[in-house]
Amino acid sequence: MKNFDSDVLFSNAFQHSAIGMALVGLDGRWLKVNHALCELIGYAEEELLQVTFKDITHPDDLESDLSHVNELIQGKKSSYQMVKRYFHKDGSIITVLLTASIVCDEDHHPLFFISQIQDITEQKKVESELKLFAKVLETTQQGVIIADADEKITYVNEGFTKITGYSFEEVKGQHLKLLPSGDHDESFLREMWMNLLTNGYWEGVISNKDKFGNTYTQWLNIGTLKDETNKTTHYIAVFSDVSKLKKAKNKLKEINKQLNQLSAIDELTGIPNRRTFDEKLSAELKKATQWHKPLSVVLLDVDFFKTYNDTYGHLKGDTCLRTAAAAMEKKVAEFSGILARYGGEEFIAILPDMPPKESCIAAEEIRKSVEKLKIPHGKSKAGEFVTTSAGLITVLPGKHHYAPDDLIHLADQALYEAKEAGRNQLRVAKGSDIF
């Protein structure tokens, strides 16, 4: 009766076990299988009883499995446990934890095996993902810090060590605020932590110090991990050393600034070039139109400059233009204007918010500033020194519509008249549409 009860209990336990169970013959054939095993590998009981465990074992695991089986049969061990893979009926691969033991008769002759087969496919998948995650953490160039709810460091990666110089042993258990450089005041750090605690994350640029006292700039992203009760359990900080990038950006910004300056400045004289003048004139004309203010343009030409170049040489000619430009620029600045080299020996000035009479006086002073330099010009027909001719146009944009080219054209006409009249003088543009 007791044996009967035991058999019934075993049979019930076998059939209703939550994990796969099987009795396996010494030749590898399935002798008896439970429902959980059939569910696990997708075969009906009748189908499994027609094959051996070897038929559904992954070939890469079979050799190891058979080695264990032989040791059981030879009495070298009574049981073994291994992780192995089976082929599901649908062709997919499942990973199991197999625990097998051998049953012998009274004379210790092997009869069959009892196998317990537990599905650990998801567990292995999670383990694989965790290993991948750990590998990513250790190979990334970014620094990674994990701290507990008390903000004490529990993990740092190799990237952290490379950037800061600190090993994990040196910072383990230390507070997250270990590294600030002192460049940030308390209000900055307080606001950073307030955002972190309120929003669950903070990111931005921050200065820190490495192990050797060197301050470096880092881009920091720090977030919180919470449990199911919304309680913070960990802090995760990921950061990059952007010092080199910041320096490179600053250098690039400086280079761009220099390039912009070079593209806006005349290389010979160091004053604005024609491109800059055209932009300034458009802006000043728009402003004058909006506020109904007068605007003047003065076009100047160094008299007989070709003769000067032929007589004194191009180096002297370049020096002459630089000196004349500096003198005119200084005088134009007194009237809050801008002077530019318009091409060759031509210069052009904008005089904002200046009525006709005052602009006439200003233009004449600008023109005469060159003659006052007393640069000798022995072959000039206009005087013994280098002189300039000038054409002036003053308009009230609110009264009539003008385009920038209109002003330059009118100033050029006036300059032509000054040259025709003998040079070394100023002419004012005439016309019914002028101020």
Catalytic residue among 284, 329, 345, 371: 345
Rounded CA-CA distance 295/397 in Å is 8
Q: Which long-range contacts (CB under 8 A, 24 or more apart) does 264-270 make?
A: 266/325, 266/340, 266/341, 268/318, 268/321, 268/322, 268/341, 269/321, 269/322, 269/325, 269/326, 269/341, 270/322, 270/325, 270/326
**CA pair distance 124, 119, nearest whole angstrom:** 10
Q: Say if CB 170 and CB 164 are below 8 A apart.
A: no
Closest CA to 151 of 213, 119, 193, 120: 193
Residue 252 CB: number of other CB atoms within 10 A?
10
Q: How far is the C-alpha of 40 from the C-alpha of 18, rounded, in Å?
A: 10
Q: Which two tokens stand for residue 395?
A: 């308009």
How far, in Å, CA of 321 to CA of 308, rounded?
11
| 372 within 8 A of 396, measured Cβ to Cβ | no
- 151: annotated active-site residue: no
Residues forming beta bridges with residue 174, ordered by sequence position: none
Task: Supply the residues annotated as catalytic.
Answer: 345
